[in-house]
């Protein structure tokens, strides 16, 4: 036993006094990994970007270039540059100013109502009850119907002579005489908003319902244990967590409402009381065959939509950061 101890001590003394260097584990640089990941992302997106350049970028460039010319629909080849004359004409045109007011007012009212009603429907469909699948399917029917078909259907229902809406309101003694819902200048704009809200509320409800399905269940289970009031739970938990989905839904609907065309054109035949910017551009392009003015109107509409999209995205980012 003593010999073993002595040998061990002598072996330790023979070891070099310098400590053995520690081997450091080297990880691959993060920058190289991110660069490789970004390269593969762009590689997969390349076909989509190429298609978008063909179907979107070239028509947009062509429209902007034609907006600086006096192009006529009958003879596009003889178009000449006239600078910003088309834009000056549009900005001073009373019909354009009316269409701009109509479009902004339509977007504000319709998107606000659709967001409120869509959120209520989404909260209802998020509850568990018998027949929920059937109700969800039925709610989507107005959105699934093509806009032209919906506009034509509502045009018949709102007709002043044989429309069913007048019959219902007359029987309920809400009105005393039949109303020309789509022909009366004081009712046409309200009718367009009403039909759009009926048709597009399911779209908002669908997007918001998808957001509600992604919310963590633990928060609601804990709130039941703590006895938190449902209204306080909605304002303090549900609404902040739902804000990203709500912002996306509002952006989509706002962009769609700003370029509204088919519903107004079919329902009211593009009357001055309901004319939108898209209807105005179509009128200049095809009715008046003034391609230059129509292209300038389309370009202005594109700039307005892009500007509002940037504002929405910036505001949504700020809201998420503050939350």
Per residue in 184-239, pLDDT (tens digit) is 888 999 999 999 999 999 999 999 998 888 888 777 777 777 677 778 778 878 88
Q: Which domains does the chain have, with CATH numbers?
A: 95-322 (1.10.3720.10)
Alpha-carbon span 58 to 52, nearest angstrom? 9
Q: How confident is the model at residue 33 (pLDDT cuts 50, 70, 90)?
A: low
Give the whole-angstrom CA distance, residue 277 versus residue 99: 5
Neighbours of 238 (CB within 10 A): 20
pLDDT digits (tens, 9 = 90+) for 138-153: 888 999 999 999 999 9
The yes-or-no verdict on residue 9 having pLDDT over 50 is no
- Encode pLDDT of 44-74 as tens digits: 888 988 888 888 888 889 999 999 999 988 8
Measured from the Cβ of residue 187, the count of other Cβ atoms closer than 10 Å reads: 17
Q: Are 68 and 83 in contact (CB under 8 A)?
A: yes
Q: What's this model's pTM, rounded to 2 decimal places?
A: 0.80
Q: What distance in Å separates the CA atoms of residue 199 and residue 146, rounded to the nearest whole number?
A: 9
DSSP 182: T
Instruction: Report whether 285 contacts 73 (CB < 8 A).
Output: yes
DSSP code string of 242-254: HHHHHHHHHHHHH
């Amino acid at each position: 036993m003593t010999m073993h101890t002595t040998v061990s001590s002598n072996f330790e003394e023979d070891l070099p006094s310098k400590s053995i260097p520690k081997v450091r584990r080297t990880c691959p640089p993060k920058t190289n990994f991110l660069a490789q990941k970004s390269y593969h992302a762009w590689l997969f997106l390349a076909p989509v970007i190429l298609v978008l350049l063909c179907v979107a970028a070239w028509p947009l460039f062509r429209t902007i270039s034609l907006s600086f010319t006096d192009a006529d629909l009958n003879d596009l080849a003889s178009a000449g540059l006239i600078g910003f004359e088309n834009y000056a004409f549009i900005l001073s045109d009373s019909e354009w100013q009316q269409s701009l007011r109509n479009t902004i007012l339509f977007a504000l009212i319709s998107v606000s109502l659709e967001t409120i009603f869509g959120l209520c429907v989404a909260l209802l469909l998020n509850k568990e009850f018998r027949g929920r699948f059937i109700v969800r399917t039925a709610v989507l029917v107005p959105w699934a119907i093509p806009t032209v078909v919906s506009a034509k259907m509502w045009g018949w229902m709102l007709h002043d002579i044989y429309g069913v809406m007048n019959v219902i309101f007359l029987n309920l003694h809400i009105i005393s005489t039949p109303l020309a819902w789509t022909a009366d200048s004081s009712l046409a704009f309200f009718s367009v908003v009403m039909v759009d809200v009926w048709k597009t509320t399911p779209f908002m409800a669908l997007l918001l319902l998808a957001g509600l399905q992604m919310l963590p269940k633990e928060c609601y289970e804990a709130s039941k244990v703590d006895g938190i009031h449902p209204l306080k739970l909605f304002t303090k938990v549900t609404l902040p967590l739902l804000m990203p989905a709500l912002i996306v839904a509002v952006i989509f609907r706002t962009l769609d409402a700003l370029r509204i065309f088919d519903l107004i054109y079919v329902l009211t035949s593009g009357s001055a009381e309901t004319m939108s910017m898209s209807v105005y551009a179509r009128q200049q392009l095809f009715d008046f065959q003034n391609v230059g003015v129509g292209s300038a109107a389309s370009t202005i509409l594109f700039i307005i939509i892009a500007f509002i999209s940037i504002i929405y995205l910036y505001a949504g980012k700020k809201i998420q950061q503050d939350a």
